[in-house]
Chains A and B, each alone.
Chain A
Amino acid sequence: MSEEPSPNDRIDDAVKTRLSRLREEPVETAELEHRLLALASETESATPRHRFFTGWRRLTATAAVVVLAALSGLVLMNLQVSPAIASPEQMVSLHDDATNHNPTAKSVTTIEQARRELVSQWNGVPELPEPPAGSLCGCCVHRVANRKVACLLLKDGQTPVTMMVGSTHDLRETEGDTREIHGKKFTVHRLNESRIVTTEQNGRFVALIGELPETRLLELADEIKF
């Protein structure tokens, strides 16, 4: 004799099935996978280690380690302090990542929502300038040249545009054609169909990236409220 499942059993089964479908959500593992494989590949030398150092050999080895550590520290400090250069290729790649099936992107329509969302993901998010009215549709935190940046995802009509915001302590723009509109200086880069307009304002490095005519992208850049 078959029994009708109780309402609680139906709920139990339904929730279980619904949760199992969360596995269908795409998970972007490429960047982490790359980092982990690089770490795993830093293998020890195949030659056996000498376990015992004696006398001057131990002293020499210790001195060498100290010097190397100091040098590495200096190099590391220099690397951390110096801003990286954001190349057009890196910025277009960021735009592609940010706008194509980006699982980390959050849907927002106001700059306040974007600020809240980005701050929840990254404490050090720079002050966000206000994008052109009505264009904001999403946001995410991304990396360019191994530095964190905030991305505001915009739409100009149907064309996606990424507004990347970083700190000039972290990122600087590469040389390109310069334009001046209403007293503001912009730099323009071209890469295949993509156009990039960058500017540095009040300690922030801002780039607009999209497949739009250069003039249109400059108009949008001019509408940004810093």
Chain B
Amino acid sequence: MSLARIWKVLRKDFAMGPRSPFFLYALVLPVVLTLLFQSAFGSLFEPKPRLGIVDAGSSGITAAMEAAEGIELTLLEDAEELRRQVEANDLDAGIVLSAGFDEAVRDGSRPPLEFFIGGESYASNRIILTVTALDTIREVEGAAAPVTVEIVNFGEEGLPLALRLVPIIVFYALVLAGVAVPGSSMVEEKEKGTLMAILVTPVKVSEVLTAKWLLGMVLTFVMAMMTLVLNGAVGSRPFDVMVVVFVASLLTAMLGLLVGVVSKDSAMMFGLIKGTGVVLFAPVLWYLFPNWPQWIAKLFPLYWIIEPIWQVSVMGESLSAVWMELAIALGIVAAMLPLIVMLARRMQAQMAAR
């Protein structure tokens, strides 16, 4: 194998790459997904209790609820609209505060509290909003509580939600850059006959494959690292993160090579990606639903690269904590190598027979 020839093929691929839609998707999608997930879908997995208030008299309850941590407050003008939103589950609960409500509470006339709960709101949200609202009303009343409550906190704060979505975005960076780009590059060369043209020069099949593998690896490494940086998930061990991302790029680019060698044309390649896509994506689901049995996730190949990325970049673990996962990922790479060599020989024989 000649390094100079591999470099020439790789340089050509990088020069021609931006013409491919997969190349563009690989560059754009992680950024778009980061923006989309952070802004639009940020509240899916830890929904905050949602309270609506119609306040006709600048009540102290509204001010206290605005200051309350962890409650999503919506101020509305109309009581009917409040009822509609509570019933439609756009809000978990609603309070209507009439003018002079605070004064009535303070002078002991026990005004009626217009308080609604949505039928679809979770029991936990109901109790949070109810007791918080009652406590606030007690504060407005101004009487001293018969008990002092002290709070003792343990441990460190939990993971921000944004970080829990990182595996999804990293997955797309890995699969698009690592699988789709080298795969489509290989297939396109076959379809357009440029692979045949290259092979009549001194360039060997192994050199073309190595160049495609490097193309996938470089792109995957850059895009996965960029995704982690964009999501603030590089943590305190950037070197360790680079190592796990490097191993991930080795594996995904190898998968891309496999797809490219197996596929006769674009339709077949797309079919392969479509069919195996769900299997590749599956381990990511366990980061969204951590209560599912973890052993199932280990049955999927990309678990062995997504888990080290998660542990090192998000959870701040060192390489020693994920050496086994990395070893298995490298084992998968090593197992794929002879398979690709065998398939590449068959591909070459088929091309020669045409």
Q: Do A and B bind each other?
A: no
Which A residues are closer than 8 A to B by beta carbons? Answer: none
Chain B residues in the interface with A (C-beta under 8 A): none
